Amino acid sequence: MATRREFCVHACQTISLASVAGALHGCGGSPTAPSAGAPLQTVSGAAGNGAVVLTIDAASPLAAVGSAALVQSTAGNFLVTRTAQDSFSAVTAICTHEGCTVTGFENQTFVCPCHGSRYTTSGTVVNGPATQPLRQFATAFANSVLTITV
């Protein structure tokens, strides 16, 4: 027969294990977790003189109107969408909730993989937990070269 002390020790161990298991399950994906969206294609941009530049050709993930890509450069990471044949939108890729890099795109909405914040292509918060918009950057497009002013 177990003593009262042994019973208490085993009960505390069981509760601790159940708590840890619940926490670990919460860190993993679940059927009700928010979608992270489709992963954005990544392209490199060249940074210099207060701008990031990249060439947009037929092979670029930004070749079609409505497309989006994650542009990486030494000046930072940017979420870029092609809004019309000759115009683009560029916003920071850093989520305003906890600083994660936004890497998903779904239904013309950027999706943060960390906590599910969603943003329009112009950076406005669609739903949180983020409450602040993504910072916008001016863009120019000429001769197949996109310039993002940083």
pLDDT of residue 26: 38
pLDDT of residue 98: 86
pLDDT of residue 146: 97
Q: Is 129 exposed, middle or buried (0-12, 13-18, 19+ CB in 10 A)?
A: middle
Q: Is the pTM of this model over 0.85?
A: no
Per-residue pLDDT at 27 exceeds 90: no
CA angle 42, 45, 43 (to 5 degrees): 15
pLDDT of residue 13: 53
CATH superfamily assigned to domain 38-149: Rieske [2Fe-2S] iron-sulphur domain (2.102.10.10)
Among residues 46, 74, 44, 76, the alpha carbon closest in space to that of 60 is found at 44
The predicted-structure confidence for 70-129, as pLDDT tens digits, reads as follows 999 999 999 999 999 999 999 999 999 988 899 999 999 999 999 889 999 999 999 989
Per-residue pLDDT at 17 exceeds 50: no
pLDDT of residue 31: 39
- What gap in Å lies between CA 123 and CA 81, rounded to an integer? 11
For residues 1 and 123, which has the higher predicted lDDT (pLDDT)? Answer: 123
pLDDT of residue 46: 95
The predicted-structure confidence for 30-65, as pLDDT tens digits, reads as follows 334 456 778 899 999 999 999 999 999 999 999 999
112-121's contacts with Cβ under 8 Å and 24+ in sequence apart are 112/36, 113/36, 113/37, 115/34, 116/33, 116/34, 116/35, 116/36, 119/79, 119/91, 121/68, 121/79, 121/81, 121/83, 121/89, 121/91
